[in-house]
Amino acid sequence: MTIQEILNGLELYDGTFPRKALKEAIAKQEQITPALLKIIEHVTQNIEELQENYMAHIYALYLLAQFREERAYPLIVDFFSIPGEITLDLTGDVVTEYLGRILASVSGGDTGLMTSLVENEEANEYVRAAALDGLVILMVWGEKSREEVMAYLQSLFRGKIARKYSALWNSLVAVSTRLYPEEVYEDIKRAYEDGLVAPFFIGLEDVERALARGKKQVLRSLEEYRHYEPIKDTISEMEWWACFK
């Protein structure tokens, strides 16, 4: 398949999984990467005009993550910085389930754009939560230390983000708990007292249970957390999705 034929095969959703086009895209990584980058730019610049069944950007996100393509990092952050619900509408469950892994994969270990997204009050709250996940994922992959990440999380608790209920606060408590929350336990208690966190999402008792388990055991469990695994194969990541026949 030519590059254009691959792109044609990935452009629109028709209910079937484009396995052949994806295999060809992976085999032609160097040749197709510039086109995948242009796809992300295109959706950002034409977000209101995309066809309802347009899907090229979803494949591009996964392929660029698999390729560990650092040039995609600012482009992806620009796209997901668009305010409102539209990026969620155009990507389905990608934001809540996979965006953290995608951002970590293309970041080259740089957290700057992810932290800017976390702190961007105009960005969607679920996007900001996913960017927070990306920081933790870099720690799990050994590209950042726990101390660096916990220091940043503590700065969020102590004034870097608005103290109002949101999915970001839920995520902040959840990721702090996964990293062993000893440094921020008092901050977490205040967040519950101020009504910033949904107890049904994660309760204070869950935080205290993690503390009781001990640091070594809590951190060891991160290694088995699939949500933090690298994206190594776009096909195996996507082929089981319910939208494909």
Residues 53 and 172 in one domain: no
Place of tokens 């900001």: 128
Q: Quote the mean pLDDT of the chain.
A: 95
Nearest to 211 by CA among 187, 191, 193, 184: 184
**Largest Cα span, the chain:** 59
End-to-end CA distance of the chain: 23
Q: What is the pLDDT of residue 224?
A: 75
Residues 130 and 37 in one domain: no
Residues 59 and 89 in one domain: no
Residues 106 and 128 in one domain: yes
Residues 113 and 196 in one domain: yes
Residues 212 and 95 in one domain: yes
Nearest 10 degrees: CA dihedral of 172, 179, 111, 27?
-110
235 assigned to some structural domain? no
Q: What is the pLDDT of residue 245?
A: 72
The pLDDT tens digits of the residues spanning 89-125 come to 999 899 999 999 999 999 999 999 999 999 999 999 9
* Half-sphere exposure (Cβ direction) of 102: Cα atoms closer than 13 Å: 28
240 assigned to some structural domain? no
Q: Is the overall model pTM greater than 0.85, yes or no?
A: yes
209 assigned to some structural domain? yes
Phi, psi of 12, deg, nearest 5: -120, 145
The pLDDT tens digits of the residues spanning 174-186 come to 999 999 999 999 9
Domain extent for 59: 1-69
Q: What is the pLDDT of residue 50?
A: 87
Handedness of CA 105, 110, 115, 116 (dihedral sign): negative
Residues 58 and 88 in one domain: no
The residue-averaged pLDDT of 132-143 equals 94
Q: What is the pLDDT of residue 44?
A: 96
Region of 108 on the Ramachandran plot (φ > 0 left; ψ -120 to 50 alpha; else beta) = left
Residue 243 burial (CB count, 10 A)? 12
Residues 154 and 220 in one domain: yes
153 assigned to some structural domain? yes
Residues 54 and 82 in one domain: no
- pLDDT surpassing 90 at residue 62: yes
243 assigned to some structural domain? no
23 assigned to some structural domain? yes
173 assigned to some structural domain? yes
31 assigned to some structural domain? yes
The structural domain count of the chain equals 2
The pLDDT tens digits of the residues spanning 195-216 come to 999 999 999 999 999 999 999 9
Residues 64 and 89 in one domain: no
